[in-house]
């Protein structure tokens, strides 16, 4: 008899050891969820010591919305005697939330329950991230939506209740060819994956495009039970492509126009220039007429140069190269150091792949503008130009900051217009910044802005590091 008692005692000790070493949190609770026993694994899950937990009820740790459902579940289990699963959220001792999957079993004595707890916080967090940011949808085998992510609801403008039980036709744009959906349905019902781009419309009648992949879901017998779809919003990408196409079309029209103007103007300008020089040579003495003729020649030359500048702007054909920006800037400012003080802030290893000739043209136009402004405003002290270059995400930002007197606010909105200039006629025709802006946008695919703050002008150029 004593031998049987020892065996039972040893068995209980072994069982207790197994329960304590379990990865799952295990507890024994009564009908009010008061803790009777707690294994070692439940302690770190909840953050309380065993002693602290034994003075509490499990329901005290639950978030408010889970308390009544758990107590009702214990009550129902008392009569049904079957294992039940429930997901709950608890507050740890440190006030952090923990998600638990509980399996509740009624013990043979029908006085207590065995509670098995698994920490599913990471899975819930991952699911929430996917739900918030991944555009996805599940349908049954007939194409009716059974599950949609919050990201899909946000994109389409519909709530989950408005989408569930309906097909994708709810967002289908009328312009989408019927043949596309026929091909889609035939493909996935044959157990194959389908992918493509589809034009849709939101609840608010706004167009959006998705790149979608749909694949079948199978049960363990190999039968198709539904379909899952993963989508990517490509609306902005397609809009950008349309803008690029429009810009290319505009550029082609400009190119043809400039070629025609160049061809039509070249001969008359050459004729005027030759005649003016001939008349000037025939007049031996310096008088008003020869001065006028010299001005005619100068203006003809200026017009000819303007045409060449426009031609070079739109007919540019070059190859990109990797440029160390610090080296390039130091080389470019060298000729200007005799008239201004330069401060360059640029990582010596910072590089960009771009058209060097185009970048040089832009830089020179801006620096010349700064120096001419210093001379025009008679700046004699603190003739300083600060050049700051830094990498921000996928862009290089080049900032040129001068102390040349600034630009009046009323002129800022016009600064990039062709033939607009705050200089006198002797100092230019107002094409420098216009050409710089077009080079930055058309060839370098970047942006350029000008701001003026207390007698200082700041030009910022943002260039993409990738094409």
Element (H, E) at 114: strand 113-119
Return the top range by mean pLDDT from 22-26, 38-42, 242-246, 307-311: 38-42
Exposure string of 350-386, with b = 16+ CB inside 10 Å and e = fewer, is: ebbebbeebbebbbebbbebbbebbeeeebeeebbbb
**Residue 285 in this model has a pLDDT that exceeds 60:** no
Q: What is the mean pLDDT of the chain?
A: 80
Residue 212 phi, psi dihedral angles, 5° rounding: -120, 145
What is the mean predicted confidence (pLDDT) over 120-139?
80
Using one digit for the tens of pLDDT, what is the confidence trace for 49-89?
999 999 999 999 999 988 998 888 888 877 766 678 888 99
Residue 153: band (very low, low, confident or very high) from pLDDT cuts 50, 70, 90: very high
Question: Do 465 and 394 contact (CB within 8 A), yes or no?
Answer: yes
Phi-psi region at 234: left, alpha or beta (left = phi > 0; alpha = psi -120 to 50): alpha
**Residue 104 in this model has a pLDDT that exceeds 50:** yes
Choose between 467 and 255: higher pLDDT.
255
Residue 295 has, within 13 A of its CA and on its CB side, a CA count of 8
Residue 235: band (very low, low, confident or very high) from pLDDT cuts 50, 70, 90: confident
Supply the pLDDT for residue 425: 47
User: Alpha-carbon dihedral of residues 190, 194, 199, 201, nearest 10 degrees?
Assistant: 70
Supply the pLDDT for residue 413: 77
With a pLDDT cut of 70, the percent of the chain lying above it is: 74
Ranking 96-100, 187-191, 311-315, 337-341 by mean pLDDT, the lowest is 311-315
Supply the pLDDT for residue 299: 66
DSSP state of 348: T
**Residue 183 in this model has a pLDDT that exceeds 80:** yes
**Residue 307 in this model has a pLDDT that exceeds 70:** no
Supply the pLDDT for residue 249: 57
What is the mean predicted confidence (pLDDT) over 436-465?
84
Q: Which of 138, 438, 429, 140 is nearest to 298 (CA)?
A: 429
Residue showing tokens 């043979």: 108
What is the mean predicted confidence (pLDDT) over 337-354?
89
Supply the pLDDT for residue 1: 44
Give the whole-angstrom CA distance, residue 57 versus residue 118: 18
For residue 405, the SS3 value is: coil
DSSP state of 334: G
Supply the pLDDT for residue 408: 80
Give the whole-angstrom CA distance, residue 463 versus residue 394: 9
Exposure string of 141-156, with b = 16+ CB inside 10 Å and e = fewer, is: eebebeebbbbbbebb
**Residue 398 in this model has a pLDDT that exceeds 50:** yes
**Residue 190 in this model has a pLDDT that exceeds 90:** yes
Question: Which residues, in sequence order, are bridge partners of residue 35?
Answer: 29
Instruction: Read off the tokens for 154.
Output: 């946000």
The DSSP string of 186-252 is HHHHTT--EEEEEEEE-TTS-EEEEEEEEEEEE-TTS-EEEEEEEEEE-HHHHHHHHHHHHHHHHHH
Q: Which of 25, 30, 56, 39 is nearest to 110 (CA)?
A: 30
With a pLDDT cut of 90, the percent of the chain lying above it is: 29
Supply the pLDDT for residue 8: 45
**Residue 226 in this model has a pLDDT that exceeds 90:** yes
Give the whole-angstrom CA distance, residue 280 versus residue 285: 9
Instruction: Read off the tokens for 83.
Output: 């294992």
**125 burial class (0-12, 13-18, 19+ CB within 10 angstroms)?**
exposed
Using one digit for the tens of pLDDT, what is the confidence trace for 15-51?
566 666 678 899 999 999 999 988 888 999 999 999 9
Instruction: Read off the tokens for 237.
Output: 């990408």
Ranking 7-16, 154-163, 377-386, 395-404 by mean pLDDT, the lowest is 7-16
Choose between 262 and 460: higher pLDDT.
460
Supply the pLDDT for residue 220: 83
Ranking 25-29, 169-173, 238-242, 323-327 by mean pLDDT, the lowest is 238-242
Q: Which of 306, 230, 302 is nearest to 273 (CA)?
A: 302
Question: Do 325 and 352 contact (CB within 8 A), yes or no?
Answer: yes
Supply the pLDDT for residue 442: 74
Give the whole-angstrom CA distance, residue 113 versus residue 107: 5
Give the whole-angstrom CA distance, residue 313 versus residue 438: 8
Supply the pLDDT for residue 365: 85
**Residue 150 in this model has a pLDDT that exceeds 50:** yes
What is the mean predicted confidence (pLDDT) over 124-139?
79
pTM for the model stands at: 0.39
What is the mean predicted confidence (pLDDT) over 102-126?
85
């Amino acid at each position: 008899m004593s031998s049987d008692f020892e065996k039972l005692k040893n068995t209980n000790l072994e069982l207790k050891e197994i329960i304590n070493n379990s990865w799952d949190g295990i507890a024994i609770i009564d009908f009010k969820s008061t803790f009777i026993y707690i294994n070692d694994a439940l302690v770190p899950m909840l953050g309380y010591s065993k002693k602290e937990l034994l003075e509490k009820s499990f329901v005290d740790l639950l978030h408010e919305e889970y308390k009544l459902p758990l107590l009702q579940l214990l009550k129902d289990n008392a009569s049904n005697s079957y294992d039940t699963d429930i997901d709950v959220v608890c507050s740890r001792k440190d006030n952090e939330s923990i998600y638990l999957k509980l399996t509740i079993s009624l013990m043979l004595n029908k006085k207590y329950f065995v509670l098995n707890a698994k920490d599913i916080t990471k899975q819930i967090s991952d699911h929430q991230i996917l739900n918030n940011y991944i555009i996805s949808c599940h349908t049954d085998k007939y194409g009716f939506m059974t599950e949609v992510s919050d990201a899909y609801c946000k994109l389409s403008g519909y709530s989950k209740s408005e989408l569930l039980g309906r097909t994708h036709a709810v967002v289908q744009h009328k312009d989408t060819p019927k043949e596309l959906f026929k091909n889609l349905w035939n493909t996935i019902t044959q157990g194959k994956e389908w992918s493509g781009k589809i034009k849709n419309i939101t609840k608010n009648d706004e167009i959006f495009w998705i790149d979608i992949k749909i694949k079948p879901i199978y049960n363990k017998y190999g039968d198709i039970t539904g379909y899952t779809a993963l989508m990517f919003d490509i609306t902005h990408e397609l809009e950008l492509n349309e803008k690029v196409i429009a810009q290319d079309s505009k550029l082609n029209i400009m190119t043809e126009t400039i070629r025609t103007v160049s061809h039509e103007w070249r001969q008359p300008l050459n004729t005027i220039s030759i005649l003016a020089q001939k008349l000037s040579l025939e007049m031996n003495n310096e008088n008003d007429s020869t001065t006028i003729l010299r001005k005619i020649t100068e203006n003809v030359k200026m017009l000819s140069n303007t045409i060449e500048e426009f031609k070079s702007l739109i007919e540019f054909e070059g190859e990109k190269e990797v440029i160390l920006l610090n080296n390039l800037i130091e080389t470019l400012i060298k000729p200007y150091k005799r008239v201004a003080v330069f401060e360059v802030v640029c990582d010596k290893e910072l590089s960009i792949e771009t058209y060097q000739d185009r970048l040089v043209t832009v830089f020179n136009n801006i620096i010349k503008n700064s120096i001419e402004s210093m001379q025009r405003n008679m700046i004699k002290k603190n003739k300083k130009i600060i050049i700051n270059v830094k990498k921000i995400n996928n862009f290089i930002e080049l900032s040129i900051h001068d102390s040349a007197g600034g630009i009046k606010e009323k002129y800022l909105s016009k600064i990039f217009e062709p033939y607009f200039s705050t200089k006198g006629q002797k100092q230019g025709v107002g094409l420098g910044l216009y050409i710089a802006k077009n080079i930055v946008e058309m060839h370098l695919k970047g942006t350029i802005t000008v701001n003026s703050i207390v007698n200082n002008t700041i030009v910022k150029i943002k260039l993409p590091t990738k094409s």
